[in-house]
Amino acid sequence: MLEPLGLTRAEQDLYESLLSGPPATAPDSPALSRLVELNLVTPIDTEPPRYVVLPPDTALDVLARRRERELADARRKMVELTVRFHGSTARREPADLMEVLHGEQEIVQGMTRLLLSARKEVCGWDAPPYRDDPNQVNQLELDQLKRGVTFRVVYDRRGSVDRPGRLAALIQGIADGEQARVGDVPLKLVVSDAPMAFVPFDVRATAHQTALLVHDPVMVAGLAALFELYWDRAVPLATYAGQPATDRPTPEERDLLALLMSGFTDLEMAAHLGWSERTVRTRIDGMRHRLNADTRFQAGYQAVLRGWLEHRG
């Protein structure tokens, strides 16, 4: 059970036997030496020596964190070697400058390699189709953000942002550290500073089954420059605090916004709030006018810009 932490079966058995009682003597053995080396047990200066087990919740957690760091280092080394392989100056054939990914598994593996390859930044366009729920958190992106990697994303106005619950997910992404903008983008695109880029091959399909993983530095630089053009034209999506009290939402407006951005229909919102559908529509129209918005999407966007969705004590 503790093998993933570096213990053999014999070492675990000895550790558990010492764990079950007060400080005890134990015959000198490689297993005992290993437990002392891992700081799982410590000798007491007696004759013969006795051994006491350190608190497992602390000692084993130290081992687990060490393993996590080793695994993270191994993954980074894997990406470094992969990038070196694909970027080798000895590989100048066109086939070596671009991979064709077939099927979901290869696409997922390729995207994982790209995200892990980033040193400082990942940028891209977010557009359908989606393999998973687009409102789910990308754990790998969160891990990279924690490592200090910058993420800049332009979300497609119609195909990406204007989806039930999507705006709430974007707000959470911004809170996690992502820089987000909204605009009109032609397809999904991801570029890392490895350099490496992901481009779907079947851009009009309902689900990507073929994609390109580009390693050619010149092509990646061109795609990065294209991203910057769309980034400059896109509208920043950000929240900020410090609005005057008169600009804050009423409790009813806050509840209504939460349901609206979670994708509830008028009928569902009415049932949840105890209102009629007519009242829901009237309240939404009033909120739109207050936010100077022509559509419900614009109302949600303006609410984000004004900090209406931020928690206030």
pLDDT in tens, 200-210: 887 666 677 88
Tokens 């529509």 — which residue?
Answer: 281
pLDDT of 278 > 70? The answer is: yes
Task: Put residue 195 in one of left, alpha, beta given phi > 0 → left and psi -120 to 50 → alpha.
Answer: beta
Q: Does the pTM of the predicted model rise above 0.85?
A: no
pLDDT (average), residues 47-65: 82
Confidence (pLDDT) at 239: 46
Confidence (pLDDT) at 227: 95
CA atoms of 203 and 5, how far apart (whole Å): 44
Confidence (pLDDT) at 241: 41
Tokens 């390109």 — which residue?
Answer: 212
Long-range contacts of 280-287 (CB under 8 A, 24+ apart): 280/256, 283/252, 283/253, 283/256, 284/256, 284/260, 287/253, 287/256, 287/257
Q: Average model confidence (pLDDT) for the chain?
A: 81
CA atoms of 39 and 59, how far apart (whole Å): 7
pLDDT category of residue 197 using cuts at 50, 70 and 90: very high
pLDDT (average), residues 283-307: 83
For residue 38, give the 3-state DSSP assignment. coil
**pLDDT digits over 62-102, tens only?**
888 888 888 877 877 777 776 666 555 445 555 568 889 99
Contact 67, 6 (CB under 8 A): yes
pLDDT of 305 > 80? The answer is: no
pLDDT (average), residues 194-199: 92
Confidence (pLDDT) at 294: 81
Which has the higher per-residue pLDDT, 110 or 51? Answer: 110
Contact 262, 168 (CB under 8 A): yes
Judged by average pLDDT, the poorest of 5-19, 229-243, 269-283 is 229-243
Confidence (pLDDT) at 83: 64
Confidence (pLDDT) at 204: 62
Judged by average pLDDT, the poorest of 13-17, 69-73, 203-207, 211-215 is 203-207
Give the domains, in start order, of the chain with CATH numbers.
1-88 (1.10.10.10), 97-237 (3.30.870.10), 245-305 (1.10.10.10)
**pLDDT digits over 102-158, tens only?**
988 899 899 999 999 899 999 999 988 777 666 676 888 999 999 999 999 998 877
Judged by average pLDDT, the poorest of 44-48, 188-192, 228-232 is 44-48
pLDDT of 52 > 50? The answer is: yes
Question: What distances in angstroms separate CA 103 from CA 46, 94, 99, 107, 237, one per listed residue?
Answer: 64, 22, 13, 6, 33
Residue 229 backbone dihedrals phi, psi, to 5 degrees:
-65, -45
List of residues 6+ apart from 245 with CB closer than 8 A:
none
List of residues 6+ apart from 296 with CB closer than 8 A:
260, 284, 288
